[in-house]
Amino acid sequence: MFKSERKSAMGASRVNILSMNTIVLVGVLLCAIPFVYMISASFRREGDLYKLPVTVYPREWTMHNFHTLFDKTEYVRWYGNTIFTASIRTVLGVYLAALAGAAFAKYEFRFKRFFFFLVLATLTLPFHMLLIPLFLLMRDFGWVDNYLAIIVPGMVNAFNIFLMRQYIESVPSELMDAARIDGASEIGMFHRIILPLVRPALGVVGILTFVWTWNDFLWPLVVLHDDAKYLLSNGIATMDGPYEVETGAIMAGSFLATLPIIIIFILMQRQIIAGLTQGAIRG
């Protein structure tokens, strides 16, 4: 009897393995299809794209769309603008988040709980609700069409502070006390003990910030009006307007804009996922 039970359990698990693999495989395919469309359309002429029957592969491969992109639009400039602003914002954002995280993780001070409550409060309140007054503020600062508007307002991010605090808590306090006895300054300790020990966390926060800035659309749409100043997101979003480019060129632009993000993700998969799921599960 025991034997037969075991047998049926094994049979069930074989079916189980098969169905689990099927779920994953079907899921992978469904996730891939829109990307396949994007890549395929990038290498097609418009006539090929809008011709029945619809085909997965281009009937004839062409680089035409990439030429349109580079010759008829400001695409290369948008790309440069995006790399520039996203990089600066990432470096500053990571550094400032680490500072605040260190304060919460390693020091006792008055109003600590209250300040941390403020961090949690900004975490839940979406930045977008203040779209109108923030735009007016940018106008008063003279930051419309200026990358300061992209870099500064969201630079000190609550989620990043929260993550950094979590990581910096793991830095041994004994190490810091020992350094204090040796006469190290608090700022020196931050740079020479804390930062090197949480380097992986800096990477996670940096990548999340970079990807987020790279993809953000609404805020650049509000503060950047001059199309030479556009970032990739608003450049690609308006490509059908003034440039009158075709579907293939829009998909080519999308493809090139997505590529670095996917490559970063492939290289840093484990860290990114760990960073994203960290805060959430603990509630």
Partner 1 sequence: MSAHTLTAAKKPQPFSFGDWWSRNQRKVIPYIFLAPFLLSFAIFTVYPAGVALFLSFQRTRGFQQAEQGGGVVLEYKGWANYERLLTKDKRFREAMINGAEFWLGTLLVQMPLALAVALALNSPNIRFRVLGRLAFFAPYITSAVVVGWIFRFVYDQNFGWMNSALAQLGIEGPAWIRDVNFVMPSLIILGLWTWVGFNSLFFLAGLQNVPDDLKEAARIDGASTIRVFWHITIPFLRPVFVFVVVTGGIGSFSLFSQPYLLLDFPNTGPFDSGLFPLMYLYDMGFLNIRMGYASAIGYILTVVILIITGMQLLLFRLWKV
Q: 70 to 109, contacts with partner 1 by CB under 8 A?
A: 96, 99-100, 102-103, 107, 109
Among 6, 76, 265, 267, interactor with partner 1 by CB under 8 A: 265
- How many Å apart are CA 67 and CA 73, to the nearest integer? 10
Nearer to partner 1, 1 or 132 (CB): 132
175-194 residues in contact with partner 1 (CB under 8 A) are 180, 185-187, 190
3-state secondary structure at position 199:
helix
Based on CB atoms, which residue is closest to partner 1, 62 or 258?
A: 258
Least distance to partner 1, CB of residue 167, Å: 15
271 touches partner 1 by CB under 8 A: no
Binding mask 146-175 for partner 1 (x = CB under 8 A): ------xxxxx----x--------------
Which residue number, 59 or 112, has a Cβ lying nearer to partner 1?
A: 112
The crossing angle, in degrees rounded to 10, of helices 247-281 and 2-42 is 140
CB 248 within 8 A of CB 46: yes
Site for partner 1 in 240-259 (CB under 8 A): 247, 250-251, 254, 257-258
Residue 66's alpha-carbon distances to 69, 80, 233, 238, in angstroms, are: 5, 16, 17, 17
Which of 33-53 are b and which e, b meaning 16 or more Cβ less than 10 Å from the residue's Cβ?
Answer: eeeeeebbbbbbbeebbeeee
Smallest separation, CB 237 to partner 1 (Å)? 5
Tell the smallest beta-carbon distance from residue 54 to partner 1 (Å): 4
In contact, 197 and 171? CB cutoff 8 Å: yes
